Structure 1
Amino acid sequence: MFRFFESRIDPFRSHDDSMPPATLLGFYRRYCLQIWPYLLVLMAIGLIVSLIEIAMLRYIGSIVDLLKSTSPSEILADYGPTFLWMGFVIVIARPLAALAHDLVNQQTIAPNFTNLIRWQTHHYVMRQSITFFANDFAGRIASKIVQTGPALRESVVQVIDALWFVTIFAGSALVIFWSADWRLAMPLLLWIIAYVATLAWFVPRIRDRSTIMSEMRSQLTGRIVDSYTNVQTVKLFAHPEREDDYAKEALVEHTAAFKNETRLITAMNATVSSLNGLLVMATGTLAVWLWTFDAITLGAIAVAAGLAIRITNMSGWIMWVAVGIFEQMGTVQEGLETIARPYDLLDKPAAPPLVAKEGEIRFENVRFHYGKAGGIIEDLSCTINPGEKVGLVGRSGAGKSTLVNLLLRFYDVEAGRVLIDGQNVSDVSQDSLRQQIGLVTQDTSLLHRSVRDNILYGRPDASEAEVIAAARQAHADGFIEGLSDPRGRRGLDAHVGERGVKLSGGQRQRIAIARVLLKDAPILILDEATSALDSEVEAAIQESFARLMENKTVIAIAHRLSTIAAMDRLIVLDQGHIVETGSHEELLHRNGLYASLWHRQSGGFLDLHAN
């Protein structure tokens, strides 16, 4: 039975992968429409449950009147079927209706709808640009994805549950009271007006403060996760107290926002409690007074008192439901402000895949400034021939990594074109572009998964033998065999920790090199690829690099010029311009910027004989 209800909604169904609506109503609409039949069923069951609750209170009044007007010896003979029907409703129908409500809510909607929202929002956000993630905390973004799903689901379910209880109870109570005597309905009518006014005043204010607190909570999470992610840096500089202060600042703001919200909640609770006391007292007093004039029966008094008490008890639930609904809506609103953002970089409609047969790279009159006033790349043009091995040289900030980022289309050029085999990288699909380029960077980041998974990232369909061969070519097989993690996994199965923190810098880069070896893309970029390796290990993998670079177009960036001196050609950049190009020997002979950089490195940075 549970599996039947649990399998009604597929969280991973095909869906509209365009940007989620940026309006609250539109955001709710997109996800609720995907499961609308089950929300409708939940609404119908809620109606039945509410009617049963009202019927039970009506039975109490009927029983009182029957006992008053019928002798004990005749009660079962005359009203036996009535009592059997009441028993059926109370003992069988009510539990079945409650079970049906829980099965639809807890088994069908709660897990599946929640994770449907999480999956679809994660699917969209995962395709955002590098800039999107660079401008925010990873922990904060993840918090929005995780919180938005349950907040949206819970607010929708609470609205459905509260809708019928409010409508049925309040409406039925007014009808019952009015049918007994119109004067008996007056306290309830006045109470409803005052109750609605109270919620109308308090709830929007609580919602606004809840939205602020949700933002403070996300900020707090982001700061704590940032500290944990960079714990090695924290330890290295001995700054745990600095991180305490960083988190404490966010925690102080969160506490202040929390207090502002709870003050309103306490004031609202006190107001509603006072209104409830007045309702019970006024209804009971008026009912007894009307009975003294034979205007109503004892059964009507029992129903009126029971309904008044039930309504006051329910009012507290409705109050918290209303607060919860608006709090959840505030969380959703705050979440969609992060989730529902347009992509910075979009593929053109029906963008074809890149076909890189030769591997020629051309930069034509490229201009790019990272949105700043000052120039980074200014009218740069150059061609890297198929199979050519080129080294990019220049001081920090000269534009070397920027050219790589433009080639990978992490950013769009402001002017000019970047071409691979004559195809503009802006015209082809981004995934196909990056599939044709292998990259080993200076700041190697590994996934918190097994060594095998990290190497397989280069080519997920590779065999175990190919993974082992790539690790061997990268000279990583030696240390991989000795790896283990706290769960007892060893070798290729061992997990490397967040961003590969359990490995040394050299070990991380050798895993990254193995990953690129396995990918075997026609274009290879080495961005300080051996910067974390000692000289012995670097020399050991030079043979692997030589094999890796065979029949490939290679761009290599290295501040350590000795590692790229043997490239076919060197391109020297300065302030976004190409100032020199040629072989190592040619550039030394020209005695220009490259020669200056080379002599500075080979001669050392410090003049020990200076006064």
Structure 2
Amino acid sequence: MIDRLLRRFERVIDPYGDVEAGDAEPRRVGALPPLPRETNRFIWHFAREAKWPFLALLVTGGLTGGVDALLYAAVGWVVDALGSSSPATLVADHFWLLAILAASTLLVRTLVLFAASVLEQQVIVPSLYNRIRWQSYRRLMDQSYTFFQNDFAGRVAQKVQQVGEATGDFIVTTLQTFWSFVTFAVLTVAILGAMDPWMGLVLLVWAAGYGWIVRTLLPRIRRAGRESAEARSVMSGRVVDSFTNILAVKLFDPGRRQDAFVLDGFRRFVDAIRATTRAITAVRTAVAVLNGFMMTAIGALALHSWTAGTTTTGDVATALGLVLRLNQMSGWMMFNINGLVRNYGTVQDAVATVSAQPALVDRPDAAPIRPAGGAVEFRDVTFHYGKGAGVIENFSLAIRPGEKVGLVGRSGAGKTTLVNLLLRLYDVEKGTILLDGQDIAGVTQTSLRNEIGVVTQDTSLFHRSIRDNIAYGRPEAGEDEILSAARRADALGFIGTVRDPNGRVGLDAYVGERGVKLSGGQRQRIAIARVFLKNAPVLVLDEATSALDSEVEAAIQDNLEGMMEGRTVIAIAHRLSTIAQLDRLVVIDAGRIVEEGTHAELVRRGGLYAGLWRRQSGGFLPAAAE
């Protein structure tokens, strides 16, 4: 019964909501409006997305403080009732007072606390917090390839996690905890002020001192909170980086340099936390001194009024009960304000990342690309990675539909950069790239990449099943199609032997983070199977067989040739024997074409390609990552 009731409230806020009505169709990159970059506007943006629950939380927060204040005031009424009645006549003399207090305690207080708990725990916390994370994640996924190259994946993930919790906690604490405390404090001032104006004056002075502490000392905590959030993200990023590259650490770091690198992150985090805790101690001490003076003054005034006969014993009990509760709440509230300020600093730190405007977006009028026939043209393309010179200079190359072209050159000549520009992982700085006469800058990135199948040298797989990894580019593919693609990539033999720690085998087996449970050659064959299944009209092979031994390469070479049949192929290989049979080889040096022709023509010419061919021993060309 209670579970069914609570589940109704859990559906008030859509935890996966965004500005779009749905996500069934591919959208334009950059079509989502960016999240506000200013912290207050960012918080207000999400407060408006749940305005009715937050208004209700504001009401319950005020009622909580009001009920608390009235119950403490009722203590004085009960004391006076006890003094004016005998045990035998107490109930008869004060029946309605006692009945109202009992009903308030049993019903009103319980209902207010229940409503506050439901609003916070069922309506807001699970759904709104995740809604903030979801919208932040979606904006980050629109960021360019360069954005993720320039940061730790773990640090970015930490920002997404932190910003949801910190933003939600900030709003909830403000509307519920802080407002409840303010309501209680205001009623306390009103009750005691009516009892004795001097008590009211003392509480007003106390409130002014409390406000001074909040205004003067808490900014230190806010700054320290922002710095500790950044330090926490850096520390998390370094830890994740260590785990992600664990094999390199074990092979190349006998002196534990990685430990020192991570330790530096831990030290920065501890230093930032210590700065925060020093500020917190200063605030707590100031509040303790202020509250000590307040309680002493109120106690002295209450006793003085009682000795003068101007207040009753119940009034003294009310005054002492209220100020003791106010002391307890003010310390508790200062703790929450500390959290409030730290959360604000965390949001401020995360907003700079999750609200950044994507550097590479689709044009507002971008439409899906028309189905490609495979004609590719680079027309006077220049690209420098923002350095102002180098890499690609006035590059022009036309590739006919169905033509197989190999890009050859020394490491750093710009071959992979050209492929990345074709995929629009970067925007050209000058010139145009055309696919079947369509400027790729004018079509949606999603539709462009759907027309191009890519196998790269550095193959990363998702920590999912082998089946999911093969079908990633075409999730609607049937089982027979997945098996056929795996067979053509010469992968079925090893797939049947793969077993993960949970007992899943074959296509159902999970491959570990980035595919670490598989060898480099096995990962490469899964990637090739994925491209077989995608069946795109343009095929890019960037060192596609570099991780394969000669025997396996020979086994799938015929299938690769079958996959290339009828498609435009752009292939990069330092092992020149793998591309020697292509229709045309384009030799690139310093971002420019220096030679073109078939393998035989270029060898006879005796130029750069011939030199690279001669340098190969056993068909291999020394290579470095470019």
TM-score normalized by structure 2?
Answer: 0.95
Question: Residues 356 and 420 of structure 1 are in contact (CA less than 8 Å); yes or no, is this contact kept in structure 2?
Answer: no
From 581, 593, 598, the equivalent of 2:613 is: 598
Corresponding residue of 1:179: 194
Aligned-partner residue type, residue 522 of structure 1: P
User: Partner of 1:123 in structure 2?
Assistant: 138
2:17 to 10, 13, 17: 13
Instruction: Tell me, yes or no, if structure 1 residue 308 matches structure 2 residue 323.
Output: yes
Distance 1:390 1:198 in 2: 71
Letter of the aligned partner of 2:356 in structure 1? R
Q: Which residue of 1 aligns with 2:418?
A: 403
Corresponding position of 2:80: 65
Of 4, 7, 17, the residue aligned with 1:3 is: 7
Range with bigger deviation, 13-22 or 511-520: 13-22
The residue matched to 2:183 in structure 1 has which SS?
helix
User: Which residue, out of 163, 183, 190, partners 1:168?
Assistant: 183
Give how far 1:186 is off. 2.7
Residue 517 of structure 2 is aligned to residue 502 of structure 1: yes
SS of the residue aligned with 1:73? Answer: coil
Question: Shift of the alpha carbon at 1:547?
Answer: 1.3
> 2:433 matched to 1:435?
no
What does the per-residue CA deviation read over 1:548-589, in whole Å, with 9 as the maximum and x for residues that have no partner? 111100000000000000000000001111011011111111
Shift of 1:81: 2.0
Q: How far apart, CA to CA, are the structure 2 residues paired with 1:458 and 1:177?
A: 71
In structure 2, what is the equivalent of residue 290 of structure 1?
305
- The code of the aligned residue for 1:246 comes to F
Q: How far apart are 1:519 and its partner, in Å?
A: 0.3
Task: Write out aligned runs for 1:48-197 (5 A).
Answer: 48-197=63-212
Structure 1 residue 350: Cα displacement:
2.6
Is the contact between residue 405 and residue 411 of structure 1 (CA under 8 Å) also seen in structure 2?
yes
Structure 2 CA distance, aligned partners of 1:534 and 1:304?
A: 86
Amino acid corresponding to residue 2 of structure 1 in structure 2: L
Q: CA deviation at 1:179?
A: 1.1
Selected match of 1:357 from 366, 372, 376: 372
Change (3 A) 1:604 1:117: closer
Tell me the secondary structure at the aligned position of residue 59 of structure 2: helix
Q: What's the CA shift string for 1:300-351, capped at 9, x where partnerless?
A: 1111000010000001111011111010010000000111111111111131
Please list, as runs of the form range in 1=range in 2, the aligned pairs for 1:546-565 lying within 5 A after superposition. Answer: 546-565=561-580
2:618, 2:130 → 1: CA distance? 60
Name the structure 2 match of 1:583: 598
CA contact (8 A) 2:76 2:315 kept: yes
Partner of 2:538: 523
1:409 to partner: Cα distance: 0.6
* Structure 1, 400-409 or 235-244: larger mean CA deviation: 235-244
Identical counterparts, % of pairs? 48
After TM superposition, the structure 1 stretch with the greater mean CA deviation from structure 2, 166-175 or 461-470, is: 166-175
Distance 2:17 2:174 in 1: 25
Unaligned runs of 5+ in 1: 607-611
Aligned-residue offset at 1:14 = 3.7
The one-letter amino acid paired with 1:19 is P
Question: Which of 342-351 and 11-20 deviates more?
Answer: 11-20
List per-residue Cα deviations over 1:382-412 (Å, max 9, x = no partner): 1000000000000001110011011001111
1:42 to 29, 47, 57: 57
Say which SS state the counterpart of residue 94 (structure 2) adopts. Answer: helix
Structure 2 equivalent of residue 457 of structure 1? 472
Shift of 1:166: 2.9
1: CA distance between counterparts of 2:113 and 2:185?
Answer: 21
RMSD: 1.4
Distance in 1 of aligned mates of 2:122 and 2:549? 56
C-alpha displacement of 1:373:
3.4
Whether the 8 Å contact between 2:453 and 2:531 is mirrored in structure 1 is yes
Q: Distance in 2 between matches of 1:196 and 1:14?
A: 38
CA distance in 2 between partners of 1:363 and 1:288 (Å): 91
What letter is aligned with 2:41? G
Match of 2:386 in 1: 371
Q: Structure 1: how far apart are the matches of 2:505 and 2:382?
A: 49
Contact 2:576–2:620 at 8 Å: present in 1 too? no
User: 1:260 offset after TM fit, Å?
Assistant: 1.2
Q: Which runs of 5+ in 2 are unaligned?
A: 21-31, 622-626
Residue pair 2:455, 2:542 contacting (<8 A) in 1 also:
yes
Aligned length: 606
Q: Distance in 1 between matches of 2:203 and 2:451?
A: 73
Are the aligned partners of 1:174 and 1:189 in contact in 2 as well (CA < 8 Å)? Answer: yes
Which aligned pairs between 1:534-573 and structure 2 lie closer than 5 A? 534-573=549-588
Shift of 1:354: 1.1
Aligned AA for 1:281?
T
Matched, 1:247 2:251: no
